[in-house]
Structure 1
Amino acid sequence: MPIQIHAFLCREDNIGVLVHDPKSGACAAIDAPEEGPILRALEETGWSLSDILVTHRHGDHVEAIAPLKERFGCRIVAPLKAKGAVPQADRLVQEGDFVQVGELRADIWETPGHCDDHVSYWFAADRVLFAGDTLFTLGCGRLLEGTYPTFWASLRRIASLPDDARIYSGHDYTLSNGRFALAVEPGNAALKRRMAQAEEAKARGGFLVPTTLGEEKATNPFLRAGEPEVARAAGKEGAEPVAVFQALREWKNRF
């Protein structure tokens, strides 16, 4: 039976996600940004929380772990490198591990860049990646720890997935990301269409999460650092893609 996924807003711009295995009834939250919206989502779906899969240690992703664990007794899976920041963790995972939500299997990918402990959860059988703050619709996270080559390697790994892979990110920054993307590639027709979709979704209280990898490869400047026009816009014509990526991310920081 196919994976069931319910996405919703938490806090101001966090994306909450529930992942449900209809066969076993197991249900995981991807991160725990805020208790109230997660409880409402569980009530709306009728699902019962069995797990929380943590992508990284930042407060807006772990804030509701303690009350949810107390309420549901759910298992907490967290990155090994975030051990000290997630004391409630029942299982610590790293590259090469996998986790089951009922009969659904997710491989653990270490995707550092935004922070050193970041992991993503790749449900290969369902072609779904929960990318946390590594990759956003039309954007990527800020580099807070580590190096640009490390972050670029994480993005390149994600870019190796099938074009129809669905990407769930940890925040809805789509409109601001899109405005920056248009500054980089004002003539990108696919990007203009994507921005129109984002504005329409926002107007009705929605968001463009998930996206697909194919859509991101066509419109997300951070995955397009190897394109000559993107390099020119970043002032890095002829440079290696990693240098273009760094210039883009630093430009976005000032945008």
Structure 2
Amino acid sequence: MPLEIVTVPCLRDNYAYLVNGPDCVCLIDAPEAGPIIDALDQRGWGLDALLITHHHHDHVDGVEELRAKYGCKVMGPKAEADKLPPLDMALEEGMNGGEGDGYTVPLAVPGHTLGHLAFHFPRAKAVFSADSLMALGCGRLFEGTPEMMWDSMQKFLAMPDDTLVYSGHEYTAANARFALTIEPDNAALQARAAEIDAKRSGNEPTVPASIGQEKETNPFLRAHLHEVKALLNMESSPDAEVFAEIRRRKDSF
């Protein structure tokens, strides 16, 4: 049975994701409980498991209300357990689990926070990246270093192009405007930016997007490419330094 993935808009610009798999319904992040309860009720679903990506309040504020209502098992990064609601299972990279398309691979992707996890469903060709890799962007480096985040980006670059990326926020239009300052002549980026503007004018989500699209258009996944380095006058610089310069420019954009 293929996964059924439901995007749940929360707060001002967050996304949570319901994943109805072969043997359970799980939730990726809980920014607030109300919209998630509404989405579950509309479908007649319960909630078996709640997977937390990182400790920021806009990803965990709904955890306790959902746990109380559904009795779901709460799982999240062991490295951030002291900053999270109580965990029923503390997760690390390598603690893979699930069956069929529900087979889940936690990935350590530090940078935005030191213990940030992404949840990869390789058989379903989906990855829930929260605030690590984002549509046309990446998370601000609140706790980690550019080198750390660039290493995390390698895990996404290694995924098949048809993997869909479900990220944690609707930041894509602003990310597109910034990306065009790095690669103004990137035809794929120009086309994607126009598509994003059309979607947002209709209040449609711009996620998920494929890893293939991100590889073609996301400057934070393109810091290793000669053409990007040349545009930044950094042809001889290490990839992580180029990534750091792109992140520095985005921070002041």
1:202 to 175, 200, 203: 200
CA RMSD of aligned residues (A): 1.4
- Tell me, yes or no, if the aligned pair for 1:228 and 1:238 is still in contact at 8 Å: no
- Tell me, yes or no, if the aligned pair for 1:80 and 1:117 is still in contact at 8 Å: yes
- Tell me, yes or no, if the aligned pair for 1:16 and 1:33 is still in contact at 8 Å: yes
Return the alpha-carbon distance in structure 1 between the equivalents of residues 82 and 97 of structure 2. 20
- Tell me, yes or no, if the aligned pair for 1:28 and 1:101 is still in contact at 8 Å: no
In structure 2, relative to structure 1, the CA distance for the partners of 1:117 and 1:182 (3 Å cut) is same
Letter in 2 for 1:165: T
Give SS of 2:173's match.
helix
- Tell me, yes or no, if the aligned pair for 1:120 and 1:129 is still in contact at 8 Å: yes
2:173 to 159, 172, 175: 175
Aligned equivalent of 1:185 = 183
Q: Does 1:74 align with 2:68?
A: no
Aligned equivalent of 1:117 = 115
Return the alpha-carbon distance in structure 1 between the equivalents of residues 25 and 111 of structure 2. 28
Letter in 2 for 1:42: L
Aligned equivalent of 1:246 = 244
Give SS of 1:18's match.
strand
Aligned equivalent of 2:92 = 94
Aligned equivalent of 2:61 = 63
1:159 to 143, 157, 160: 157
Give SS of 2:54's match.
coil
Bigger Cα displacement from structure 2, 231-240 vs 219-228: 231-240
1:1-57 CA-to-partner distances (Å, cap 9, x unmatched) read 111100121111111110001x43x11110000111111211223221111100001
- The alpha carbon displacement at 1:145 in A equals 1.4
Aligned equivalent of 1:146 = 144
Return the alpha-carbon distance in structure 1 between the equivalents of residues 229 and 130 of structure 2. 26
- The alpha carbon displacement at 1:185 in A equals 0.7
In structure 2, relative to structure 1, the CA distance for the partners of 1:202 and 1:101 (3 Å cut) is farther
Letter in 2 for 1:228: H
- The alpha carbon displacement at 1:181 in A equals 0.3
- The alpha carbon displacement at 1:229 in A equals 3.0
What TM-score, normalized to structure 2? 0.96
In structure 2, stretches of 5+ residues that fail to align are none
Return the alpha-carbon distance in structure 1 between the equivalents of residues 149 and 129 of structure 2. 13
In structure 2, relative to structure 1, the CA distance for the partners of 1:137 and 1:55 (3 Å cut) is same
Return the alpha-carbon distance in structure 2 between the equivalents of residues 144 and 237 of structure 1. 28
Q: Does 1:47 align with 2:49?
A: no
Give SS of 1:98's match.
coil
In structure 2, relative to structure 1, the CA distance for the partners of 1:165 and 1:187 (3 Å cut) is same
- The alpha carbon displacement at 1:88 in A equals 2.4
Q: How many positions carry a matched residue from both structures? A: 253
Aligned equivalent of 2:3 = 3
- Tell me, yes or no, if the aligned pair for 1:29 and 1:52 is still in contact at 8 Å: yes
Aligned equivalent of 1:34 = 32
In structure 2, relative to structure 1, the CA distance for the partners of 1:153 and 1:224 (3 Å cut) is same
- The alpha carbon displacement at 1:115 in A equals 0.7
- The alpha carbon displacement at 1:69 in A equals 0.4
- The alpha carbon displacement at 1:228 in A equals 2.5
Aligned equivalent of 1:17 = 17
2:129 to 102, 117, 131: 131
Letter in 1 for 2:78: L
Letter in 2 for 1:189: A
